[in-house]
A and B are shown apart, each in its own frame.
Chain A
């Protein structure tokens, strides 16, 4: 009993890690721009696909083989870093092409949200169009080892995922609290009118936010592809919506909130599936969410802002 509970606990930690990583991207962008970046789930998908092509290329299964075989850990490291960089470029490109012109024109933020939805659709279906509908299986980058601790099965992938998420959280908190750019980000979310007047370059900060958010989604993509090695064009859609929900439960715009909300959603989903029929998973998980938001309308860390008239 306890064993199965601990096993589920561990699974929930891993599952929640993915939600947390993606939710962080939503929250960062929301905090700075007040924009729900609905393309974010698909950026996660793009990250996973970029990782797939990089990994197969580095392993010599694609196009041509290297004269020397790289050690698997090195392949893993290079894949992660390059994927994060390339996906960040995709995120920034979307911001540059689609969101910034709208922002310059002073369009209502809901129109930007619709544009974000459209960008997501383009990424999904563009992928389907150019790469075809067949699923791709991700190569095994980390040789699967399963440790058995007190009757629990702990794979090395789980450990990597959970530790990476914790590291990202600490790193992000440091960036936002301690660096100048982080201070600028917080300033923008506090008062977006006054910030440009203080000589802070708004666009630079926004681009930096998108770089951070997209590279986190890419990291989630790589780790997800390693843990569940099947890729398909629509993999980002549902995970993206749910991560958005996680970000909101935590109090959108808050880094701690996104992190906690992601884990919370992961726990609810895994434990509902463990103790109830799994077809009821969505029903129960979303009912809990509905009740929670009715009681605490601004999420865990969200602060109700008093509006002055």
Chain B
């Protein structure tokens, strides 16, 4: 029973949300915020893998998100819609419903390959020097997209709303919302299982002491490669979803500002705490949305609040702990492999 409780609960939650969207009980604005919450959960959970569990300081997460967003969008527009640049649709637009997860996955794979740009130098470089490399990768990605005129360059890329409409016409369900929910569940599950596996222990060992980990026969280059590729791949998936929520992307969206936002979520939640990341991604997105009426003052008030929070809780909301450490009774519900029984 304990094995499936979390899955059943999450499935039930998803059904409720989708039903609410389908029955138009909530307005589209709230729905869009909900989807952004989901995107941010994916981003912060995946960055936490590198920054929290592995103890590196990656400041270029938005770069991988950009790769995923562009790969997925370009593929979808090329395959399913008729445009001036790419010519007529390769496949029937109604097949978009079935092939969307595949293109999403390809976006993730593209982003994971971009993650190699960081992973390979990380074998020799550590700490602040690696931070610079991630920063440089973010700039390189943004700058290369700006210089590719085929996909719009600095003007941005659009046409994804046509795909979303085609999916609606084929089967009338809020597809993007469904895929956001599925991907959030998938991300949290994958990262949870990953950090509790022997691989995850290896990554935590690298954070604590790289040399000692190596002596204890942890294959550090392999671990780093897996962690960076998984993290950037998930960011790519988030990017693909993000592009389809908005229907328009441009390289200016994926700057250091965006990376900083995700960084703040990770450290606000607590390094190496998955539930912390989820919690802080949800709360920070909602807080930012709540303060929207303040306009410019929002970006003074929110950082001020965060600084105050840091002063009172210097280790983030959850610290190094998970939700189940604070409420041990929950463990009975969520024990991953029935370990507790």
Contacts and interface: CB of A to CB of B under 8 A. Distances in A.
Interface residues on B, range: 35 or more
Interface string B131-145: 111011101101110
A36 B300 contact: no
Interface stretch (A8-16, A160-168, A189-197, A290-298): A290-298
Contacts of B125: 293-294, 297-298
Interface string A90-130: 00000000100110011110110111011101101110110
A206 to B, nearest CB: 18
A69 interface: no
Nearest to B306: A118
Given A111-B316, A114-B263, 19 more contacts: A30-B128, A106-B314, A113-B57, A114-B310, A117-B263, A118-B264, A118-B304, A244-B132, A280-B143, A282-B143, A283-B140, A283-B143, A286-B140, A289-B136, A290-B136, A290-B140, A293-B133, A297-B124, A298-B125
10 contacts: A101-B311, A102-B310, A107-B315, A117-B263, A122-B300, A122-B307, A128-B296, A241-B135, A286-B140, A309-B212
A248 B132 contact: yes
Contact of B310 (A107, A125, A287, A309): A107
A118 to B, nearest CB: 4
A108 B315 contact: yes
Contact of B147 (A117, A279, A297): A279
B19 interface: no
B128 A252 contact: yes
Nearest to A282: B143
Contacts of B146: 279
Given A279-B146, A290-B140, A125 B129 contact: no
Interface string B142-161: 11101100000000000000
Interface in B41-79: 51, 57
A105 B146 CA distance: 44
B256 interface: yes
Interface string B9-24: 0000000000000000
Contacts of A30: 128
A118 B256 contact: no
A268 interface: no
Given A117-B263, A245-B132, A122 B304 contact: yes
A118 B307 CA distance: 7
Contacts of A124: 299
B201 to A, nearest CB: 18
Chief secondary structure at chain A's binding surface: helix
A134 interface: no
Contacts of B303: 118-119, 121-122, 125
Nearest to B310: A115
A275 B4 CA distance: 62
A117 B264 contact: yes
B121 interface: yes
A299 interface: yes
A148 interface: no
Interface in B109-141: 117, 120-121, 124-126, 128-129, 131-133, 135-137, 139-140
A129 B316 contact: no
A286 B120 CA distance: 16
Which has the most chain A C-beta neighbours within 10 Å: B128, B140, B271?
Answer: B128
A145 interface: no
Nearest to B268: A114
B32 interface: no
Contacts of B143: 279-280, 282-283, 286
A293 B118 CA distance: 11
Nearest to B315: A107
A117 to B, nearest CB: 6
B316 A115 contact: no
Nearest to B118: A290
A246 B211 CA distance: 29
A101 B314 CA distance: 9
B297 interface: yes
B150 to A, nearest CB: 15
Contacts of B310: 102, 107, 111, 114-115, 118
